[in-house]
Amino acid sequence: SSNEHKLNFKKSKEACLSYIQDALLQKQWKRAAEFLTCYVESLEKDYSREHIGPSEMIWRIGTEILWHHSQSSMKEFNCFMEQMKTLGVKRYLKVCLEHVFHLLCDGQIDEAYQNLSLAESWRFGEQTAIQDKEMKLVQAYRGLLDYYSWSKQKNILLEQGEDGFSDLAVEQEMHGYFRKAAVNLKEIIKIPGVWDIFVKCYVDLLEFYGDHNEARQVLNEYAYNSKFPANPNAHVYLYQFLKRQREPKKSLISALKILHDIVPSHELMIDFNTMLQKSKKRKKRRLGLEVIFAALDYAGWKENAKAWSCLARQVKQIVISEKHLDWIKQEWNSRKDWWPAFHFSRYLAKRNWQEDKSLSYEKALVAGILLGKGCKYFKYVSHQGCKAQLKRFRMLKKFVNRHNLVYLKISG
Amino acid sequence: RDFNERCAQCSEVNWGLTDGGRFYCRSCHNVTERTREVVNTDFITNSRVQTISKGSRKQEKNDGGSEWYICEGFQLVLKKQVEALEALGVCPQMKDEILCNFWRCYLQKSKQAYCKRPAPETVKTSSVCESSTDMDSDPERPSLLHLLSLSESEGDLQTDCSFASSVSKVSESTSVYSGSVDGSLYLMKNQKEKLRMTMPMTLSFCYMALLWVREPITLSELLRYVVEGHIPYLNVFQHFPEKMKLCGLDLKIFCVESWPVYEEVFNQMHELATFLDLPRFPDITESCFLHPDMLCMKYLMEANLPDELHIWTCRVVKKIGIGEVDFLTLVPGNKSTRKVKYDVLAVAVIVVVLKLLFLLDDHYEWLLSEYAEERNKNNTEVYIFYSGGPYFEFKKWYEVVKHCLDVKQKKLDEERAKYLWRCEKPLFYSVKNKSKVLKRRQMVVNLQNQFGKLSGSVQCAEKPNPSSFQLSWSEKNTDGSCFHGHSLKGVLQEKRGLLTAMNPDYWLCTVKLCNEKLCGHLAHYKEAEFPQSYHFVLGLFSFLLRVQPSYIHDEVCMIEHKLFNKKLYKKLKYNTVLRS
């Protein structure tokens, strides 16, 4: 409500903005446009004291409206963006970049490329130096589009190769794109930041042309340089590269170690655990157990049969060897209070049995060892399994019965 | 300087000359191939350009303008306003006789015209203006920044400063940087000596004239008409003739960026009346529209309250003497009498009457309402018809009026957010500024077109017809939403042959009034400290009058203290605590 009868330009426009904001949040594009129409005259007033001026507001709001409004076209959108570019010199490159993103979303790759080239050639006194970062981004994205073109040429070449042809022109073009792309991509990844897509593309290029050393260096930098923000993907890319290069397990393991620290629930933890389990080194096997337990702490893994089979395998192996039961004890210590309800409830026993027998098998094994043969989960599943006359469940029952006292030692 | 093409790179028109005689764009340093064929010796490439001073009295200017004074501008504004009032139905004498005379009187008193010698300062201005760019040498000459800071306008000061700083680098004697002759002088004037003319004051003039003629337009109505666009105010300068060029400091004077506030216009009107040494205004008698009895009737109708309440408002008015001619008529210069705000006074009386009859303590009024509801249920329609209408139920009234008010308020809030403040006529501080301003204007128009098309709903540019009533209720409505004909018998009782309120209690808004001269108010209203019903009623009239609830609250306090004067005095004497 408006108790404030004193109304001036500034307050009026503030109120206008809040109506626009409400409309945007509720996706009422027509209404937002209605109020924006009234807001635009703010441009005629200088707001140099404000943090965000009207020109920026209008750019951002207008973009949203034109992007979503049913009656708006790309033509109108482009026209608007061009106007916005002239509005604020200090934002010129930012506006260009956002425009390019929208064009890409709309599938207009060529248009986007043209805009990027245009932006790259922009010069404006000292602003050029001030907007250096944005310029690098412009160049990087152009590099990305060059990579995309390179990729297309590469595919053409590969197809032709299959047919037995080989078009020199295509090849030349392809190399040309490579050069252009490589130059720009290399530049941007020097700057600390999150450049996943650029890194991936650059490494792809390097691998294709056989420059594995450079690729390795790039990936190592990206993953291990402390100036760069912690990024799980960096480690994933490195790991995948090393795997492609058929590096020994040792380096693969070291690549995944930090990933485990950052994202214990990452999907590669299964691979990690598998490698670690098979290791001859005790420390590695110990780590493997830690890794798989940690992964299963997360709800997303609850019904992952593969993960449970990893854990089951390792637990089984430890129990049979009768060595390192203390490992399980250590891992179980912090989990014994909540894992039973989290994983091994009777409800879950029923559901798992209904939906995925393998899953229930693996889980039952783990439950039986950790909680003893009297636990709800094991009892239900093994009973069902034996009733269904499935051999492995009978074996499971025997195994757990045999090692029934383990759970006492573990829970100690 | 003749090169007016837009820069290929940044579209600006801001050219300088390199040493080689080529044009370069000052905004983006884009050098062109164009050279000046004829070297103009006037043009110097350093930052201080010397041009002819605007202060000297020349009839012709380069841009086709001629000399004009600020008061000429205001005269035009007043003319437009009074013409609009005429169109609204105000008597034609107001323009030619009343307002005209007031204005002449003002000009005379403030020594701007109609006197033997023009104000000495104007002479001073012209002599000072022939000078060079060296501003620091003359300490008496104010800088542009200083002048801008003196202005009362609510414009963004930073804007002006940033414009000013860009202007001062290039221009000449900036103390006279205005389209008018005396723009800077005007802002410099010492306010205390002479009442300086401002845009809000034009409305004070109008109101004063209306009061003199005793037109049935209250100040709140006048201001509402201004906001609704029926009376020129916001961009009235666009009606100035072509030859009156507006720029620089003129903008500070004529461009408003806020709506006039009741209090301000009201107070200034009184100052003005005193300044002009006006005699006692024509009497406000019982037959005048502005008399509380009349206004109460109007507001009772608008508030959808029973006509029967009018008897009560008249009783209160009579009891505290606010219906007396001497109380109501304005005598300028008389500092002892409280200035009468006719509209606020009338609604305050209604509020007091409602408190008298309904108590409005968030309990009693609802009780009374239930009682009335019961009665209404039991009576047949025929009975109701013959006995003068159904019992007035506070609850029903509240629901109906609240709903309507909410809708209207919401609409008003949206309208406020959608006000368009600018007009087609561009405003620029200096000629250097002009191209930038025009470019911006063009962009604004483009964007308005683009997004206007996407707005979906029809952009209605028509102003609503001016109407004295913002809320109207018709007894023809069968849904029972009109309460005019309802009866107060549910809240009244007969005592010794007189009808009195059933409600025995009353709570004062404040036990002690503040000293208005010290803190500006009689009381300090905080919503949380008062009953919701009271707040609602204040809110209703606050909406109708477009003033703050506290403004009405002050008036209510004043009336209550007059009404319960004796009781208060007695009770305070015996040190009893009143319900408050």
Mean pLDDT in residue range B524-531: 87
Residue A157 Cα distances to A143, A149, A212, A384, angstroms: 21, 12, 22, 58
Distance (Å) from the alpha carbon of B414 to chain A's nearest alpha carbon: 8
Contact B419 A12 (CB under 8 A): yes
Whether the Cβ atoms of residue A12 and residue B558 lie closer than 8 Å to each other: no
Q: Is the pLDDT of residue B417 over 80?
A: yes
At A200 the pLDDT is 94
Residues linked to residue A287 through DSSP beta bridges, in sequence order: none
Mean pLDDT in residue range B263-277: 91
At B43 the pLDDT is 36
At B39 the pLDDT is 39
Which residues are within 8 A (CB) of A277 and not within 5 positions of it... i.e. 6 or more apart? A285, A288, A310, A313, A314, A317
Q: Is the pLDDT of residue B102 over 50?
A: yes
Contact B162 A58 (CB under 8 A): no
Which ranges of B322-363 would DSSP assign to H, the alpha helix?
Answer: 325-328, 342-358
At B525 the pLDDT is 84
Interface-testing mutation among B219, B266, B455, with chain A (most A C-beta atoms within 10 A): B455
Higher pLDDT, A51 or A182: A182
Shortest CB distance from A12 goes to which of B28, B417, B456?
B417
The total of other beta-carbon atoms located within 10 Å of residue B558's CB is: 22
The total of other beta-carbon atoms located within 10 Å of residue B57's CB is: 8
Interface-testing mutation among A13, A41, A55, A66, with chain B (most B C-beta atoms within 10 A): A41
Measured distance CA(B537)–CA(B378) in Å, rounded: 29
Shortest CB distance from A9 goes to which of B258, B414, B453?
B258
pLDDT band at A326 (very low <50, low <70, confident <90, very high): very high
Contact B419 A7 (CB under 8 A): yes
Return the minimum-mean-pLDDT range out of A43-47, A138-142, A148-152, B254-258: A43-47
Mean pLDDT in residue range B231-253: 83
At A229 the pLDDT is 92
Return the minimum-mean-pLDDT range out of A339-353, B23-37, B256-270, B349-363: B23-37
Range B324-329, long-range pairs (CB < 8 A, 24+ positions): B325/B283, B325/B284, B325/B285, B328/B283, B328/B284, B328/B288, B328/B290, B328/B291, B328/B292, B329/B280, B329/B281, B329/B282, B329/B283, B329/B284
Measured distance CA(B84)–CA(B209) in Å, rounded: 14
Characterize B40-55 residue by residue with b for buried, 16 or more Cβ atoms within 10 angstroms of its Cβ, and e for exposed: eeeeeeeeebeeebbb
At B552 the pLDDT is 94
pTM score, whole prediction: 0.75
Q: What does residue B335 show for φ and ψ, rounded to 5 degrees?
A: -85, -15
Q: Is the pLDDT of residue B470 over 90?
A: no
Interface-testing mutation among A12, A50, A85, A90, with chain B (most B C-beta atoms within 10 A): A12
Q: What does residue B181 show for φ and ψ, rounded to 5 degrees?
A: -75, -40
* Chain segment B302-345, per-residue pLDDT in tens: 999 999 999 999 999 999 999 999 889 999 888 777 889 999 99
Residue type present at position B160: D
Q: Is the pLDDT of residue B51 over 80?
A: no
Distance (Å) from the alpha carbon of A303 to chain B's nearest alpha carbon: 49
Please report the ipTM that was assigned to this predicted complex.
Answer: 0.73
Shortest CB distance from B447 goes to which of A7, A58, A69?
A58
At B126 the pLDDT is 30
Spans of all domains in chain B: 1-36, 68-111+195-278, 292-410+470-565
Residue B369 Cα distances to A87, B365, B379, B401, B539, angstroms: 61, 6, 15, 15, 20
Contact A30 B454 (CB under 8 A): yes
At B143 the pLDDT is 46
Measured distance CA(A233)–CA(A253) in Å, rounded: 16
pLDDT band at B355 (very low <50, low <70, confident <90, very high): very high
At B63 the pLDDT is 56
Q: Is the pLDDT of residue B411 over 50?
A: yes
Mean pLDDT of chain A: 91
At A292 the pLDDT is 95
Contact B450 A80 (CB under 8 A): yes
Contact B443 A15 (CB under 8 A): no
Mean pLDDT in residue range A288-294: 95
Shortest CB distance from A124 goes to which of B28, B412, B454?
B28
Residues linked to residue B500 through DSSP beta bridges, in sequence order: B493
Measured distance CA(A347)–CA(A355) in Å, rounded: 12
Return the minimum-mean-pLDDT range out of A287-296, A362-371, B17-26, B259-268: B17-26
Q: Is the pLDDT of residue B117 over 70?
A: no
Mean pLDDT in residue range B532-555: 94
Which residues are within 8 A (CB) of A114 and not within 5 positions of it... i.e. 6 or more apart? none
Q: Which value, in Å, is the radius of gyration of the alpha carbons in chain A?
A: 30
Shortest CB distance from A3 goes to which of B9, B259, B548?
B548
Q: Is the pLDDT of residue B278 over 80?
A: yes
% residues pLDDT > 90 (chain B) = 29
Return the minimum-mean-pLDDT range out of A156-170, A369-383, B71-85: A156-170
Q: Find the closest chain B residue to A63 by CA distance.
A: B451
Which residues are within 8 A (CB) of A383 and not within 5 positions of it... i.e. 6 or more apart? none
> Quick one: angle between helices A325-333 and A357-371, nearest 10?
100
Q: Find the closest chain A residue to B29 by CA distance.
A: A125
At B527 the pLDDT is 84
Helix (H, G, I), strand (E, B) or coil at B457: coil
The total of other beta-carbon atoms located within 10 Å of residue B208's CB is: 25
Shortest CB distance from A46 goes to which of B158, B421, B447?
B158
Measured distance CA(A405)–CA(A373) in Å, rounded: 9
Q: What is the DSSP string of A329-392?
A: HHHHHTTTTTHHHHH--HHHHHHHHHH-HHHHHHHHHHHHHHH-TTSHHHHHHHHHHHHTT-HH
Contact B159 A46 (CB under 8 A): yes
Helix or strand run (H / E) with residue B417: helix B394-417
Shortest CB distance from A2 goes to which of B416, B447, B455?
B416
Count CA atoms within 13 Å of residue B537 on its CB side. 28
At A62 the pLDDT is 94
* Chain segment A211-261, per-residue pLDDT in tens: 999 999 999 999 999 999 989 999 999 999 999 999 999 999 999 999 999
Distance (Å) from the alpha carbon of B543 to chain A's nearest alpha carbon: 9
Helix or strand run (H / E) with residue B494: strand B492-495
% residues pLDDT > 90 (chain A) = 75
Q: Is the pLDDT of residue A177 over 80?
A: yes
pLDDT band at B377 (very low <50, low <70, confident <90, very high): confident
Q: Is the pLDDT of residue B182 over 60?
A: yes
Residue tagged 């990893």 (tokens): A310
Residues linked to residue A8 through DSSP beta bridges, in sequence order: B258
At A262 the pLDDT is 92
Residue tagged 């009808």 (tokens): B499
Contact A34 B446 (CB under 8 A): no
Contact B156 A124 (CB under 8 A): no
Q: Is the pLDDT of residue B151 over 70?
A: no
pLDDT band at A348 (very low <50, low <70, confident <90, very high): very high
pLDDT band at B49 (very low <50, low <70, confident <90, very high): very low
At B137 the pLDDT is 38
Residue B552 Cα distances to A383, B14, B401, B546, angstroms: 82, 55, 19, 11
In the structure encoding, which two tokens stand for residue B167, read together? Answer: 């202007």
Q: What is the DSSP string of A55-81?
A: HHHHHHHHHHHHHH-TT--HHHHHHHH
> Quick one: angle between helices B292-302 and B342-358, nearest 10?
70
Helix or strand run (H / E) with residue B35: strand B31-35
Measured distance CA(B379)–CA(B390) in Å, rounded: 9
- What residues of B are in contact with residue A31 (Cβ under 8 Å)? 455-456
Mean pLDDT of chain B: 76
Q: Which value, in Å, is the radius of gyration of the alpha carbons in chain B?
A: 30
Residues linked to residue B258 through DSSP beta bridges, in sequence order: A8
Contact A2 B258 (CB under 8 A): no
Return the minimum-mean-pLDDT range out of A144-158, B384-398, B437-451: B384-398
Contact A36 B451 (CB under 8 A): yes
At B172 the pLDDT is 37
